[in-house]
Amino acid sequence: MDDKNRTLLTYNSIQENPTIYNVGELNADMSSSLSGNPALSAQGGRHKNGYELPGKVAILYSDVKREYFPTESQFITEKDADKDAAIIGEYVNKLNIDVNLFAGDADLPKNLREYKPEMVFNLVDSVKGVESLSSSIPGLLEILEIPYTGADILGMSLDTNKFVIKKLLQQNGIPTPYYQLFNSSTDALDSTLRFPLISKLNEIHGAVEITNDAVSENEKQLRERLKFLIQTYKQPVLVEEFIVGREVTAILLEGLNKKVYLAEKIFTKPDEKYIFATFEDQWVKGKDAFHYEKYNDPILREYVKKTFDVTKMYDYAKFDVRIDQSGRYFFIDTNCNPAFGPKETDVAISTILDLYGISFTEILKRLIVNTLRDAAGKERLPPTSSELESDNTN
């Protein structure tokens, strides 16, 4: 049993008479059957499969203020955290679950003690604008013994150090571009690295500063880029070989088995020299820059599952993979607790799973039920009928 589940085993025994709503088949008809029979939910009626939904859920989101962030770009990636949490809350509430939203700030421990949720969705990506501090949230939830979605302290800590993630991938035989960590713009350049090179902030996700200027064709350009990034964000920069080719995004959703959904980014900018998803593409242009199409390769799926395990992720995750002209895979980004929300929020998890016929409501049910069953030490939820169907068609 993993540390996250071991800690949470005691949760149900310390709650003060929690209300549990029990539901039957986990399928697309589930939400309508609940809303159509509120008396059954209120009485906690158990259906034949015994799957349970909680009575009270908290959704935690980043406390976002402009002064927390060194640049407008980084602020943009989180400025709608409260609005996105409210949208998700509406979907959870439709499952006849009481929902409360809390910012990941100094009042969070008090708010959680007073509300006493049976589980939480942890959507906190930063604390006071610092992504590496987000691992303090699962730490708090462990202390309070409240089940939660997503990665634990270790997984979130690893996620905010791309250099360490690269080392883990490399040590476990998962293909990744050659790379080097720069603590200063004057650090010696590894002579084995081949241009073009792309520079990434080591501790920040959200494609912050992934612009066309991120790709350097010579050492002079690289040094200028390193100087700007290190002076502006006060952190090391990861530099890796830019892989010319295609790009696939993988979503992993845990259940009884780890289920991987693959989709290729189809870009609409063929005239650019280096084609990749920039900050502007993801936060400004959106669907005008690229769209997703199903992609299928069992080998890549196994790489994704292995990456998920070695980087200590839980419940759901997102991975970006480049494919070079020889058809070789290179993992260029890993994200535990990636941007989460329904399709209208234009996030990868719902957009890609929609290609496979899986709605956001189904995603919510799976995360809720599996989180509570993990906390109780029960086996994970089996695949849904739509997942089994997609397995047979992919």
Residues 201 and 265 in one domain: no
Residues 235 and 257 in one domain: no
Average pLDDT, stretch 135-154? Answer: 96
Measured between alpha carbons, how far is 108 from 124 in angstroms, rounded to an integer?
Answer: 11
Residues 107 and 207 in one domain: no
Residues 287 and 336 in one domain: yes
Residues 235 and 251 in one domain: no
Query: Residue 51 has what pLDDT?
Result: 60
**Does position 14 have pLDDT exceeding 60, yes or no?**
no
Q: Report residue 95's pLDDT band, with 50, 70 and 90 as the boundaries.
A: very high
Query: Residue 38 has what pLDDT?
Result: 32
Structural domains counted in the chain: 3
Strand order through the sheet with 119-123: 98-103, 56-61, 119-123
Residues 300 and 382 in one domain: yes
β-bridge partners, 265 = 292
**DSSP three-state, residue 213:** helix
Select from 149, 184, 203 the last residue of a domain.
149
Among 33-47, 266-280, 344-358, the minimum mean pLDDT is found in: 33-47
Q: Report residue 255's pLDDT band, with 50, 70 and 90 as the boundaries.
A: confident
Mean pLDDT score of the chain: 86
Residue 178 lies in a domain: no
Please report, for the domain that includes residue 91, its CATH number. 3.40.50.20
Q: Report residue 257's pLDDT band, with 50, 70 and 90 as the boundaries.
A: confident
pTM for the whole structure: 0.84
Residue 360 lies in a domain: yes
Residue 164 lies in a domain: no
Query: Residue 22 has what pLDDT?
Result: 30
Query: Residue 4 has what pLDDT?
Result: 57
**346: buried, middle or exposed (CB in 10 Å: 19+, 13-18, 0-12)?**
middle
Strands (E) across 1-144 are located at: 20-23, 51-54, 56-61, 98-103, 119-123
256: DSSP letter: S
Residue 341 lies in a domain: yes
Residue 317 lies in a domain: yes
List pLDDT tens digits, range 208-245: 999 999 999 999 999 999 999 999 999 999 999 999 99
Select from 213, 241, 269 the last residue of a domain.
241
Domain that holds residue 297: 246-393
Residue 167 lies in a domain: no
